[in-house]
Chains A and B, each alone.
Chain A
Amino acid sequence: MKRPLTPPPNTPPRRKTPPPKLGNVWLSHQMSVFLASLGHLLRSPLASLMTTSVIGIALALPTGLYLLLENVRNLSYEWDSSVQISLFLKQEVDEAKAHILADQLLQRPEISNVQIITPVQALQEYRNLSGFGEALTALETNPLPFVLIVQLATNDTQAGSRLLEQLGKMPEVEVAQFDMLWLKRLFTMIEIIRRGVLILATLLSLAVLLVIGNTIRLAIYNRREEIEIYKLFGATNAFIRSPFLYLGFWYGLSGGAIAWGIVDLSFWLLQTPIKQLTALYHSQFQLVTLDLISTPILLLTSALLGITGAWLAVGRHLKEIQPS
């Protein structure tokens, strides 16, 4: 029944193996556990896909909102060259008078810059923007007045309003109006929405933690007997913990990948209407999407959430499982 353990005749004599380097053994063990935990995830693809999809959707929501917000902010930054007042001059004001007025205005301390837009320039710009080019060329005379674009030296809206009132009463001025005042409001709103997104992101991250924690808890209970046997033969808590932490890592990472897919697809769908919109504003606007910096951040965050969720579950439930 019992055969002596001798090597087959054609193998060279075994050299004495060097003493084990624990670091390498540990590392190769961790590597194999790391990959085995991925295998564990792939063995029940449907259940794993469901869990990772929940994680993915939960992460896609704040990520997408954040990107949307970044885009709106970029757009408005581009439009915003501090506060401007447009002065539409009366028809009878000619170029020389417009220049004199511009020089006068520049003397005032509240004003940092004055730009003159001639009727020709205005018409050209209007043609380009509005798409009524044909109709406008048919006009015999240019109906547009001189316009002065006044840059304020201050961001103070009250001072701006006072100045607007004063400028509106000047005899050469037909109409004075703030340019893109709504931008200022938009900025305040963006700040509010940004905080909202931050709160949402925090809440949804918490939800991801719970989802992963619960998934890991189930995995622990499914392998309860195995854990007991490992403990009976001297497994440390760290030994038993690591496969579950890796499992959490894989759940988090694949959830992050799904979130990336959802966000990328959504922005791809948004791209055409956004291009049309920005073209109308004559803008060099580039859509901000998940790039080489934000993508790794998303994946890293989701993987970290996975490990943290797993850690919480493992910490709570591994102690409960003791061999009997």
Chain B
Amino acid sequence: MIIFNEVSKRYPAGYEALKNVSFHLKPGEMAFLTGHSGAGKSTLLRLIALIERNSNGQIVVNGQHLGRLPTYRIPYLRRRIGMTFQDHRLLVDRTIFDNVALPLVVAGYRPQEIRRRVRAALDKVGLLTKEKNYPITLSGGQQQRVGIARAVVHKPAILLADEPTGNLDPSLAKETMQLFAQFNQVGVTVLIASHALSLIKTLGYRTLMLQHGHLVGDTRISRPLR
């Protein structure tokens, strides 16, 4: 589903954030991406969604060679991906409903279908009663879950999450990770960047470890503990 082959990323300023990174994430797999702050986790996720283009090597996502993907095709690549962000990136002047509906509106779904799917997604993250609220009225954890609902509402094949438990307390963090595991169980390929190493260890999923842009560890665990 996601193949990295000797991938490097050099930012225009000259800093090399990723160096010869190779790994293969199979369809339906779930993995964590960990490492110190500045190790290149966010950069790696950004390469997958073509928010940045890699400088060297090949990336294949959903069977598409990103290096050969013309710019005008990028929106269609992103419609197969769901993303959450550390700073949530919700639209503050839109209701929770409108925020979650965004990927569906963009893809041209009909209104009834949008209503049905948004409600289902909000129900899944336990925020159905908040659909008419504005993001500002929600706690950080709730906003994160709105972001998760928005990331899955269009039933993407791949789910990318950047520090989804950033500033959540441990029990809420664990709940959030379990939510991702549930999406993984219905076939979504999930890649979560997180530096919460201790939490990751208790969950027992495959873990990719980055250090100064190098992939220094790839621990596979055959069966996730639940």
Residues of chain A whose beta carbon lies under 8 Å from any beta carbon of chain B: 1-3, 5, 17, 20, 22, 24-26, 28-29, 225-226, 228-237, 239, 322-324
CB distance from A261 to the nearest CB of B (A): 33
Q: Mark B43-54, 1 if CB is under 8 A from A, else 0.
A: 000100101000
Contacts A5-B120, A25-B108, A29-B108 given; does A232 touch B49 at CB 8 Å = yes
CB distance from B80 to the nearest CB of A (A): 8
- How far is it, in angstroms, between the C-alpha of A5 and the C-alpha of B124 when the chains are bound? 10
Q: A2-B123, A2-B124 are in contact. Are A232 and B89 (CB under 8 A)?
A: yes
Judged by a CB distance under 8 angstroms, whether B223 is at the interface is no
- Which residues on the A side are within 8 Å of B154 (C-beta)? 233
Find out whether the CB atom of A235 lies under 8 angstroms from the CB atom of B91. no
Q: Is B110 an interface residue (CB 8 A)?
A: yes
Asked if residues A230 and B102 are in contact (CB atoms below 8 Å), the reply is yes
**A219 to B215 CA separation, bound complex (whole angstroms):** 43
Q: Please list 5 pairs of residues, one from A and one from B, whose beta carbons are closer than 8 Å in the complex, sorted by A's number.
A: A20-B110, A28-B110, A229-B91, A230-B106, A234-B78
- Please give the distance in Å from B15's CB to the nearest CB on chain A: 15
Chain B residue nearest in CB terms to A230 = B106
CA of A29 to CA of B107, assembled, Å: 11
Residue contact A231 to B75, C-beta cutoff 8 Å: yes
* Bound Cα distance A26, B128 (Å): 27
Known: A20-B113, A22-B108. A233 touches B123 (CB 8 A): no
What is the number of residues of chain B that contact chain A, defined by CB distance less than 8 Å? 31
In the bound complex, residues from chain B placing their C-beta under 8 Å from that of A3 are 123, 128
Known: A28-B111, A231-B75, A234-B75. 14 other contacts (CB 8 A): A5-B120, A25-B108, A229-B91, A232-B89, A233-B106, A233-B150, A234-B107, A235-B75, A235-B106, A236-B72, A237-B72, A239-B106, A322-B51, A324-B51
Q: Is there an interface contact between A232 and B112, defined as CB atoms closer than 8 Å? A: no
Q: Shortest Cβ distance from B119 into chain A, in angstroms?
A: 7
Tell me, in angstroms, the Cα distance from A225 to B135 when the chains sit together. Answer: 15
Across the interface, do A226 and B91 meet the contact criterion of CB distance under 8 Å? yes
Does B83 have its Cβ within 8 Å of any Cβ on chain A? yes
Provide the residues of chain A in CB contact with B51, threshold 8 Å.
Answer: 232, 322-324
Known: A17-B113, A25-B108, A324-B51. A233 touches B126 (CB 8 A): no
Which of B78, B108, B120 contacts A232, CB < 8 Å? Answer: B78
Evaluate contact between A233 and B103: CB separation under 8 angstroms. yes
Cβ–Cβ contact B119 & A5, under 8 A: yes
Given A5-B120, A232-B78, A235-B75, A29–B105 Cβ distance below 8 Å?
Answer: yes
- A322 nearest in chain B by CB position: B51
B23 touches A (CB below 8 Å): no
- With both beta carbons as reference points, the residue of chain A lying nearest to B126 in the complex is identified as A1
- Residues of chain B with a CB closer than 8 A to A231's CB: 75, 78
Cβ contact of A20, chosen from B72, B77, B105, B109, cutoff 8 A: B109
Who on chain A is nearest to B82 by CB? A233
Residues in A whose Cβ lies below 8 Å from that of B109: 20, 25
For the complex formed, measure the closest distance between the CB of A16 and the CB atoms of chain B, giving whole angstroms.
Answer: 12
Question: Which residues of chain B from 35 to 76 have a CB within 8 Å of any chain A CB?
Answer: 46, 49, 51, 72, 75-76
